Amino acid sequence: MFRTLSTIAVAFLLFSRIGASQSLLFKTIDFPATGILGQAATAIDDRGRIIGSYQLNSSATLHGFVLENDSFETLDVSPLGGTLRGINKHGEISGFLSDQNGLHAFRYFSGITTVIDVPGANLTEGTGLNDKGQIVGDYRDPTNSNIFHGFVYENGYFITLDFPGASATAPSSINNRGQIVGFFLNASGFHGFLFDSGLYTSIDMPGALFTNPLSINDHGVIVGSYSNGFTNHGFIYRDGTFTTIDFPEAALTEVWGINNKGTIVGRYVDTSAVNHNFVGTPVLEISEQSGYSQSGMVGLIRRPRGAKQMDCTSSEC
């Protein structure tokens, strides 16, 4: 069933530096239904197709959605609900679904949902996938329910991933170079990680209580969220540098996905405690060395009526 997004309103124009000469243009992209309890845009491919999930006030069931060419489609992979987490260039979608036996990872393609379970595990969650069809996720240890392991799945085979010394390892995303990001839990708390060429590297936003990398593109740019103990903020992590990403005037922001063009998606909660989806599109700025200031660039972009500019002078916006 397709539902057309009648209005994708540009809520704000936010200049948040994500590189030497780039900023982000934010849009709110809410699923067009009344009674939305929660929603999150979780991934975006290079064609601009966006996937995510939503929940209505009237039901505990999670529904998936696909947004393409300004049109929403509800995608239910199970009668008891499911969460869409990854999409590749072929249109394959990964995530996890519920049935009478618990949670299972899945791959969805061309109308067919294939359940994927780690042998012996009573809980398997799929998260990201790449263009090769490799899927990452986590599963509960069959002999110790307090321990979770990560996995990579390809062509019917599983490889277990465990951050050294961790009681839980939860991969979130894998790119086409085989780099994997996610979070792990050890005695000191929750931390992000990058797994690359057989080596684990922890990723922690300075001063954060919890750093949760959620997506990595083929350029090695990582996005996610972190908690400062009061709320959650989004981040972009590039070349060892964190940039905080906050949807303007939001009470909470989480960045869930990034594609190879640098476009990001996620969710935010406004000051009235209402959940929204968003997309942030990179905008090239003309540098001051070329004779234009950042404020001059706003006029060249043709900012939509009612859009708001916010200039950032540091990584915090």
Question: Using CA atoms, how far apart are residues 36 and 31, in angstroms rounded to an integer?
Answer: 8
Would you list the domain boundaries of the chain?
2-311
- For tokens 């797994």, the residue is 195
Lookup: tokens for 44: 């975006």
Q: Spell out the alpha helix ranges (H) of the chain.
A: 294-301
For residues 163 and 192, the answer to whether their CB atoms sit within 8 Å is no
Angle at the Cα of 88 from the Cα atoms of 283 and 6, rounded to 5 degrees: 60
168 token code pair: 């839980």
Q: At the topology level of CATH, where does 2-311 sit?
A: Neuraminidase (2.120.10)
What is the model's pLDDT at position 182?
Answer: 98
Q: In this predicted structure, what is the pLDDT of residue 195?
A: 98
The single-letter DSSP state of residue 291 is T
Indicate the DSSP class of residue 301: H
What contacts 24+ positions apart, CB below 8 Å, involve 218-223? Answer: 218/175, 218/176, 218/177, 218/260, 219/260, 220/175, 220/177, 220/179, 221/258, 221/262, 222/181, 222/192, 222/194, 222/258, 223/255, 223/256, 223/257, 223/258, 223/264, 223/266
- pLDDT value at position 4? 34
Report how far residue 237's alpha carbon sits from residue 19's, in angstroms, rounded to the nearest whole number: 10
User: What does the pLDDT read at residue 18?
Assistant: 52
Which residue is associated with the tokens 């869930």? 256
- 295-299 contacts, C-beta under 8 A, 24 or more apart: 298/13
Q: What is the pLDDT of residue 1?
A: 34
Phi-psi region of 187 (alpha: psi -120 to 50; beta: other; left: phi over 0): alpha
**Residues paired with residue 125 on neighbouring β-strands, in sequence order:** 138
Query: How far is the CA of 115 from the CAs of 25, 90, 160, in angstroms?
Result: 37, 18, 18
Q: What is the pLDDT of residues 188-239, one digit of tens each?
A: 999 999 999 999 999 999 999 999 999 999 999 999 999 999 999 999 999 9
Structural contact between residues 61 and 75, judged by C-beta atoms closer than 8 angstroms: no
pLDDT tens, residue order, the chain (317 aa): 333 333 333 334 444 555 544 689 999 999 999 999 999 999 999 999 999 999 999 899 999 999 999 999 999 999 999 999 999 999 999 999 999 999 999 999 999 999 999 999 999 999 999 999 999 999 999 999 999 999 999 999 999 999 999 999 999 999 999 999 999 999 999 999 999 999 999 999 999 999 999 999 999 999 999 999 999 999 999 999 999 999 999 999 999 999 999 999 999 999 999 999 999 999 875 444 433 333 322 322 233 333 333 333 333 33
Q: Is residue 85 within 8 Å of 42, Cβ to Cβ?
A: yes
